[in-house]
């Protein structure tokens, strides 16, 4: 088996082929250009880019409650549809983001250039940003709403991209730490030690811990994280290495339907504190099933056939559910000038993931006689890759050539674990990895080999800047069935060697510019049993593999940026032609784990506009606002067997037409604070639009005090109080948690957290 050390050693060994003179050139160092928010702007509006781009920097991220998901930090940007059912955005099952009608698994995500895959919950080729890095170690988040850079290492960026960058170690020794306590017995701790400059080498080591009780029901979100980063200067070049570890274990909230919310209320949840009732509900369900086949026989006659109030179905409440993820992510980057005009960069990375998602399922009894068992979806990932680029500056011309290769071995299985037949309580802990299954429903090994290259050129002609280029992508997926369980095995290849991108930027003056961009992208097929073409029956796979085309998109956008005195902002309009849109239709309740049905709905058309701006009212005080209008509709009806599903003209699921946000932030010498409101209009969660959730406005706020510079030992300390959902709004946060269906009220909604309070003591931020 290949080892991660091989890739990293290969990256270092490649340095020996570089001419020694490379380290003696007089070219400028290759540190990434500092974003133009060095002065502490809340949002950077991407001046100089030929695409719609905004950046949120560390100065803004640090004003969030420690531990808050970086995705929540960018929810203020135009067109960003952020959802999370808990206050922190730490509950990964519910946390997601979409842009311009593209959902999360159609966007691209990277951390310091390393691909994070599509960042979905059952990720087959990456991991979520909340596991990849501790939020305090983020330096910036850059959002490209329509088209990412050609160099972005992603095979899922049909729509926009999110580029995360970690902070570099400080030049001087420092210690940063924080402690947070809040609602539902939430504890959050963080500590980071910076070494300072040790003769051209500097680094930091940090640790973060989260224990957050669920805001309803029983259970917790728990996470341990370690981040380490080292930067070594080599003349005008440098080597950067990092190591990140995460161990996350979280109890799930119950996925709900609109009917369940009406009947049972938003505060209803799984019954993890009531094993006797969970046992009883499962026994009744088993009786109902057995009674249908043989009314004379009931396996649990003492429980009868009728659910006790308020339960009407076995899916109203399960005993428990949980997600467990353990990740190791490491990488090494070398960059140097080869000449005064040519720069070279080489990067290697390795990611290992071990995970289980589990439900206490009443659908499958245990061999012991208990009417409940534990059903898991199990994940093991071993992926490694390398990225390389050469940049050549020739006067007004900047030419870049680069590539990315990745090998990903992904092992996925669906298993069942026995529970003791007792009313005393569950015999297994939901927050521990399960062992010794009694059955395996399916088990597959997937191999994905990705090759991507790109060519780009930028020409500066005075006030006019032209950019252009293309990328090519090939992904080969192989599915090897160990236990097929009716799912598909086989091979798929997705490729397109020419995906162009062209752009133009015209500077009217130093404070006003116009931009335009055209981009083509496609999304190769997914290699997993729980999504994509392999997640269907073998017959469906055989019928589709030669005819079903990967999703593709063409995006046109244009806009303007301007700044004058205390104001800066941006306007953008766009049109997207999305072809071969593949819909995954959830069959039955998610806990049943039935194969999804895939439907090609033909084209999707999206158009809209975005406006955003920031006003600096006084030193340290700023107001930021954004508004986005998006119209995304399916362009064709769908034929499901012999039935026509009327999706033509319907709004894309989870795609609100209106998103708006406003924020007032202050960061002074002693006091700091912020208050922000976000609005989202109606969202549909069926493809025919017969079911939807209402729009909502959510307000968060925080206020704090910090010791000024002349306070000696206390300098750098700050005390902050924050509240989420300030007005205690009852609303649905996440839609589609259990998938989407053609019509009907599915169990796929997650209510948002109520008003919650937190207080933080911190130093060094």
What is the SS3 assignment for 92-158? Answer: CCCCEEEECCECHHHCEEEECCEECCCCCCCCCCCCCHHHHCCHHHEEEEEEECCCCCCCCCCCCCC
| pLDDT of 292 | 66
Question: Tokens 């960058």 label which residue?
Answer: 165
| pLDDT of 19 | 36
CA distance linking residue 613 with residue 662, whole number of Å: 10
What b/e readout covers 305-334, taking b as 16+ CB neighbours within 10 angstroms? eebeeebeebbbbbbbbbbbbbbbbbbbbb
User: Please, which pLDDT band fits residue 89 given cuts at 50, 70 and 90?
Assistant: confident
pLDDT in tens, 522-577: 999 989 988 888 888 888 888 778 878 888 999 999 999 999 989 999 999 999 99
- What average pLDDT does the chain have? 89
| pLDDT of 30 | 31
pLDDT in tens, 491-503: 999 999 999 999 9
451 has a pLDDT exceeding 80: yes
* Pairing relationship of beta strands 108-111 and 161-166 according to DSSP bridges: parallel
Residues 652, 632: contact at Cβ < 8 Å?
Answer: yes
Cα 534 to chain centroid, rounded = 22
| Better pLDDT: 641 or 341 | 341
| Closest to 142 (Cα-Cα) out of 124, 162, 122, 112 | 162
Average pLDDT, stretch 579-598? 66
| Closest to 74 (Cα-Cα) out of 110, 47, 105, 99 | 99
| pLDDT of 229 | 98
37 has a pLDDT exceeding 60: no
Q: Across-strand partners of 332? A: 241, 348
| pLDDT of 319 | 97
Question: Tokens 């015999």 label which residue?
Answer: 427
Average pLDDT, stretch 110-135? 93
Count of residues for the chain? 765
CA distance linking residue 562 with residue 391, whole number of Å: 29
Question: Tokens 């049905």 label which residue?
Answer: 597
Question: Tokens 């809340």 label which residue?
Answer: 42
CA distance linking residue 680 with residue 345, whole number of Å: 41
517 has a pLDDT exceeding 60: yes
φ, ψ at 15 (rounded to 5°): -65, -30
Output the six-digit token pair for 686.
């069926």
44 has a pLDDT exceeding 90: no
Average pLDDT, stretch 25-51? 56
Average pLDDT, stretch 598-615? 87
Cα 344 to chain centroid, rounded = 30
* Pairing relationship of beta strands 567-579 and 551-564 according to DSSP bridges: antiparallel
Percent of the chain with pLDDT over 90: 73
User: Please, which pLDDT band fits residue 16 given cuts at 50, 70 and 90?
Assistant: very low
CA distance linking residue 282 with residue 293, whole number of Å: 17
Question: Using the 8-state DSSP alphabet, how is residue 67 labeled?
Answer: T
602 has a pLDDT exceeding 90: no
CA distance linking residue 401 with residue 169, whole number of Å: 29
Question: Using the 8-state DSSP alphabet, how is residue 487 labeled?
Answer: B
My answer on whether omega of the bond before 310 falls inside 30° of 0, hence cis, is yes
| pLDDT of 161 | 93
User: Please, which pLDDT band fits residue 587 given cuts at 50, 70 and 90?
Assistant: low
Output the six-digit token pair for 732.
């649905």
Average pLDDT, stretch 597-607? 78
| pLDDT of 739 | 86
Average pLDDT, stretch 266-282? 96
Most confident by average pLDDT, 34-38, 454-458, 584-588: 454-458
| pLDDT of 758 | 96
Output the six-digit token pair for 58.
């560390």
Q: Across-strand partners of 344? A: 336, 390
CA distance linking residue 82 with residue 203, whole number of Å: 33
Average pLDDT, stretch 261-283? 96
| Closest to 515 (Cα-Cα) out of 557, 544, 553 | 557
CA distance linking residue 168 with residue 238, whole number of Å: 12
Kindly list the distances between the CA atom of residue 632 and the CA atoms of 51, 635, 638, 693, 731, in Å, as whole numbers in the listed order.
Answer: 20, 9, 17, 17, 23
User: Please, which pLDDT band fits residue 589 given cuts at 50, 70 and 90?
Assistant: low
| Better pLDDT: 759 or 24 | 759
Residues with Cβ within 8 Å of 736's Cβ and at least 6 positions away in sequence, in order, are 96, 103, 653, 654, 685, 748
8 has a pLDDT exceeding 70: no
| pLDDT of 645 | 87
User: Please, which pLDDT band fits residue 147 given cuts at 50, 70 and 90?
Assistant: confident
Output the six-digit token pair for 228.
């380490």
Residues with Cβ within 8 Å of 105's Cβ and at least 6 positions away in sequence, in order, are 118, 119, 120, 156, 526, 531
Q: Containing H/E element for 630?
A: strand 621-634
Per DSSP, helices labelled H in 364-424 are none
| pLDDT of 586 | 57
| pLDDT of 584 | 61
393 has a pLDDT exceeding 90: yes
224 has a pLDDT exceeding 60: yes
| pLDDT of 13 | 34
Percent of the chain with pLDDT over 70: 91
Q: E strands of 235-289, at which residues?
A: 237-251
| Closest to 764 (Cα-Cα) out of 360, 269, 178, 290 | 178
Output the six-digit token pair for 534.
């392999």
Q: E strands of 214-251, at which residues?
A: 220-234, 237-251
38 has a pLDDT exceeding 60: no
| Closest to 513 (Cα-Cα) out of 150, 148, 46, 144 | 46
Kindly list the distances between the CA atom of residue 109 and the CA atoms of 2, 296, 455, 460, 630, in Å, as whole numbers in the listed order.
Answer: 25, 57, 20, 29, 22
34 has a pLDDT exceeding 50: no
CA distance linking residue 382 with residue 216, whole number of Å: 36
User: Please, which pLDDT band fits residue 262 given cuts at 50, 70 and 90?
Assistant: very high
Helix (H, G, I), strand (E, B) or coil at 382: strand
pLDDT in tens, 314-347: 999 999 999 999 999 999 999 999 999 999 999 9
């Amino acid at each position: 088996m290949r080892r991660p050390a091989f890739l990293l050693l290969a990256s270092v060994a490649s340095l020996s082929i570089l001419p020694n003179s490379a380290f003696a050139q007089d070219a400028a160092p290759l540190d990434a250009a500092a974003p133009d928010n060095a002065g502490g702007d809340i949002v950077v509006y991407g001046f100089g880019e030929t695409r719609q781009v905004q950046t949120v920097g560390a100065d803004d991220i640090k004003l969030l409650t420690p531990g808050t998901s970086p995705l929540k930090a960018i929810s203020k940007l135009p067109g960003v549809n952020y959802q999370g059912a808990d206050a922190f955005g730490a509950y990964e099952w519910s946390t997601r983001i979409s842009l311009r009608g593209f959902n999360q698994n159609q966007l691209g995500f990277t951390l310091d250039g390393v691909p994070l895959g599509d960042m979905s919950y059952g990720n087959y080729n990456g991991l979520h940003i909340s596991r990849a890095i501790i939020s305090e170690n983020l330096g910036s988040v850059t959002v490209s709403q329509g088209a990412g850079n050609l160099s972005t290492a992603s095979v899922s960026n049909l729509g926009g991209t999110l580029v995360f960058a970690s902070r570099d170690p400080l030049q001087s020794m420092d210690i940063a730490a924080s402690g947070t306590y809040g609602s539902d017995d939430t504890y959050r701790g963080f500590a980071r030690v910076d070494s300072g400059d040790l003769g051209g080498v500097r680094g930091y080591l940090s640790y973060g811990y989260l224990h957050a009780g669920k805001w309803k029901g029983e259970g917790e979100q728990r996470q341990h994280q370690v981040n380490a980063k080292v930067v070594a200067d080599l003349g005008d070049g440098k080597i950067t290495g990092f190591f990140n570890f995460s161990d996350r274990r979280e109890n799930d909230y119950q996925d709900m339907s609109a009917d369940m919310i009406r009947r049972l209320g938003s505060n209803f949840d799984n019954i993890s504190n009531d094993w006797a009732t969970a046992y009883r509900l499962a026994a009744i369900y088993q009786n109902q099933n057995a009674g249908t086949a043989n009314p004379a026989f009931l396996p649990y006659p003492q429980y009868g056939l009728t659910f006790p109030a308020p339960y009407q179905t076995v899916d109203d409440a399960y005993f428990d559910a949980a997600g467990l993820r353990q990740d190791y992510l490491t990488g090494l980057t070398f960059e140097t000038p080869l000449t005064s005009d040519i720069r070279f960069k080489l990067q290697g990375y390795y990611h290992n993931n071990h995970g289980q998602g589990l439900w206490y399922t009443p659908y499958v009894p245990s061999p012991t006689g208990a009417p409940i068992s534990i059903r898991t979806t199990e994940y093991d990932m071993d992926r490694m890759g390398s990225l390389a680029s050469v940049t050549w500056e020739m006067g007004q011309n900047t030419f870049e050539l680069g590539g990315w290769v990745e090998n990903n071995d992904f092992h996925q299985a669906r298993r069942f674990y026995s529970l003791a037949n007792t009313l005393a309580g569950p015999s297994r802990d939901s927050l521990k990895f399960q062992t010794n299954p009694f059955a395996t429903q399916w088990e597959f090994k997937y191999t994905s080999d990705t090759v991507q290259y790109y060519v780009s050129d930028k020409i500066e002609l005075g006030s006019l800047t032209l950019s252009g280029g293309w990328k090519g992508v090939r992904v080969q997926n192989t599915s090897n069935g160990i236990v097929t369980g009716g799912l598909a095995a086989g091979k798929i290849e997705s490729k397109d060697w020419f995906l162009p991108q062209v752009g133009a930027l015209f500077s009217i003056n130093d404070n006003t510019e116009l931009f335009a961009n055209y981009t083509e992208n496609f999304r190769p097929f997914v290699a997993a049993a729980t999504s994509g073409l392999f997640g269907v029956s073998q017959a469906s796979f055989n019928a589709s593999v030669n005819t079903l085309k990967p999703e593709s998109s063409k995006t046109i956008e244009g806009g303007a940026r301007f700044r004058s005195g205390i104001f800066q902002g941006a306007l953008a309009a766009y049109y997207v032609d999305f072809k071969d849109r593949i819909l995954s239709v959830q069959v039955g309740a998610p806990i049943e784990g039935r194969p999804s049905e895939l439907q090609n709905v033909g084209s999707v058309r999206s158009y809209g506009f975005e406006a955003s701006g920031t006003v600096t009212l006084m030193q340290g005080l700023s107001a930021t606002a954004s508004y986005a209008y998006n119209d995304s509709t399916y362009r064709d009806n769908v034929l499901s067997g012999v039935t026509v599903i009327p999706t033509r003209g319907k709004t894309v699921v989870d795609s609100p037409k209106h998103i708006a946000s406003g924020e007032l932030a202050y960061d002074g010498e002693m006091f700091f604070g912020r208050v922000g409101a976000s609005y989202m209009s109606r969202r549909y969660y069926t493809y025919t639009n017969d079911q939807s959730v209402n729009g909502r406005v959510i307000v968060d706020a925080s206020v704090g005090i910090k010791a000024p510079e002349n306070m000696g030992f206390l300098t750098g300390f700050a005390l902050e109080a924050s509240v989420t959902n300030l007005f205690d709004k009852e609303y649905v946060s996440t839609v589609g948690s259990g998938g989407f269906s053609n019509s009907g009220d599915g169990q796929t909604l997650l209510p948002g957290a109520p008003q919650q309070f937190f207080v933080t003591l911190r130093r060094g931020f």
